[in-house]
Amino acid sequence: MKLTIIGTGYVGLVTGTCLAEKGHDVLCVDNDPAKIAMLQAGQIPIYEPGLEPLIRSNVAAGRLRFTTDTAEGVRHGHVVFIGVPTPPRADGSVDMRFVERVARDVASAMTEYRIIVDKSTVPVKTGFKVAESIKRYNKAGVDFDVISNPEFMREGCAVEDQMKPERIVIGVASQRPVATMQEVYAPFNAPIIVTDINSAELIKHASNSFLALKISYANALSALCEASHANIQQVVDGIGMDKRIGRAFLNAGLGYGGSCFPKDISAFIAIAQELGCDFRLLKEVQNINANQLQRFVKRIQDTLWVLQDKVIAVLGLAFKANTDDARCSPAVDLVLALQKEGAHIRAYDPQAMEKARPLLPNVTLCADPYEAVRGADAMIIATEWDEFKELDFGRIKPLMAHPTLFDGRNLLDPMTMKNLGFTYLSVGR
């Protein structure tokens, strides 16, 4: 089927590529000429495992193309996906200007029936607003359907999540677009749940909020474990074996970050507020998350006493492993908090250094972990990269001024580290 994706960020590019991989004829549109030129030249603007070869093979097969021309996109795709950013505003609510702009552009270019699919994460009731907007700006009076089809991709495994989705949510106002959408997603062999538009939009925010809630629950428990000398890992393993709870997203650490959870939780609180509902539970999720980082900083201070002029090596700047994304990264927030206390930071990340650089102008970025720990009074693991598990700690120890290690992701085994001669502190263990 001929499909168009508007927006070539994480969501749009991965969605478009995976739809092409499943045999569809996909045209990706972006209003950033530099990005489209890059993609047309075979270069990939983001780091996402598995994406590059998939883009190359689908471009070579003629199933995936790129353009800056929205009208060309609207002519091409029977189904037009909107995958543009929905950034937060200062008050936590969602800035809808990009979605609204695309709705207007699509409306003016539409000359025959189209299904317009909201892929971006949007507040409940957006579908109706998009439909209203299209109706207003579509001078030709062409028939169309707007549907909501939220994505559930995680950065770092977005391709896998998109190729093998656990469920596909399709929110519709009528039955008319359902068969076409079922055809679009048939090759994915995943359960399709058809809902009304508002419910589909709520499912997305509700999913991310629930996952953040699970993480905050584990983090709140980790404080209890520290106070009672229990072990958070054993506690979450124990409760996670109950199928009703599940073990996933119960890893205590520095708190959740990234471009989705912090923004989506704030947005969901603001959306609820606007609807007259005070979602206090989610406000507490946010409080626990902020407090978790502060608790970690306090433990570092308690151990090192004074941070002024201490050299601290921070391993990991990405908000989680397997991504180069440092937006809303707890690791970056941690560095800033330590710098505020006068510490000198030497940092290393396998992928996120370039993206973190502008966020951390006064940090010494190092070529490898061994360079980062040179002369350090302490080192911190701030992102759970596998490569940090494999470090040669026998080599690291003599490089440091003192072998103190704060493991913000519970990546290493406490006993092993102690036996290696490290003063080792982790989260809730």
Identify whether 366 is a catalytic site residue.
Answer: no
| Active-site option among 157, 260, 277, 328 | 260
Task: Give yes or no for a contact between 411 and 381, defined as CB atoms under 8 angstroms apart.
Answer: yes
Q: With respect to ligand UDX, which residue has the nearer C-beta, 106 or 314?
A: 314
Interface residues with ligand UDX (CB under 6 A) are 151-155, 208, 211, 215, 249-251, 253, 256-258, 260-261, 319-320
Q: What token pair was written down for 330?
A: 């707890």
Q: With respect to ligand UDX, which residue has the nearer C-beta, 130 or 250?
A: 250
Q: With respect to ligand UDX, which residue has the nearer C-beta, 295 or 320?
A: 320
Q: With respect to ligand UDX, which residue has the nearer C-beta, 152 or 188?
A: 152
Can you name the residues that pair with 192 across neighbouring β-strands?
168
Alpha-carbon gap, residue 260 to 397, rounded angstroms: 37
Q: With respect to ligand UDX, which residue has the nearer C-beta, 326 or 405?
A: 326
- In angstroms, what is the minimal distance from the CB of 241 to ligand UDX? 15
The 3-state secondary structure of the chain reads: CEEEEECCCHHHHHHHHHHHHCCCEEEEECCCHHHHHHHHCCCCCCCCCCHHHHHHHHHHCCCEEEECCHHHHHHHCCEEEECCCCCECCCCCECCHHHHHHHHHHHHHCCCCEEEEECCCCCCCHHHHHHHHHHHHCCCCCCEEEEECCCCCCCCCHHHHHHCCCCEEEEECCCCCHHHHHHHHHHHCCCEEEEEHHHHHHHHHHHHHHHHHHHHHHHHHHHHHHHHCCCHHHHHHHHHCCCCCCCCCCCCCCCCCCCCHHHHHHHHHHHHHHCCCCCHHHHHHHHHHHHHHHHHHHHHHHHHCCCCCCEEEEECCCCCCCCCCCCCCHHHHHHHHHHHCCCEEEEECCCCHHHHHHHCCCCEECCCHHHHCCCCCEEEECCCCHHHHCCCHHHHHHHCCCCEEEECCCCCCHHHHHHCCCEEEECCC
- In angstroms, what is the minimal distance from the CB of 390 to ligand UDX? 19
- In angstroms, what is the minimal distance from the CB of 145 to ligand UDX? 24
Q: With respect to ligand UDX, which residue has the nearer C-beta, 114 or 409?
A: 409
Alpha-carbon gap, residue 5 to 19, rounded angstroms: 10
Q: With respect to ligand UDX, which residue has the nearer C-beta, 257 or 428?
A: 257
- In angstroms, what is the minimal distance from the CB of 327 to ligand UDX? 9
Q: Single out the residue of 251, 218, 298 nearest to residue 410, CA to CA.
A: 251
- In angstroms, what is the minimal distance from the CB of 29 to ligand UDX? 21
Q: With respect to ligand UDX, which residue has the nearer C-beta, 216 or 404?
A: 216
Task: Give yes or no for a contact between 195 and 170, defined as CB atoms under 8 angstroms apart.
Answer: yes
- In angstroms, what is the minimal distance from the CB of 138 to ligand UDX? 30
- In angstroms, what is the minimal distance from the CB of 170 to ligand UDX? 16
- In angstroms, what is the minimal distance from the CB of 7 to ligand UDX? 15
Catalytic residue set: 260
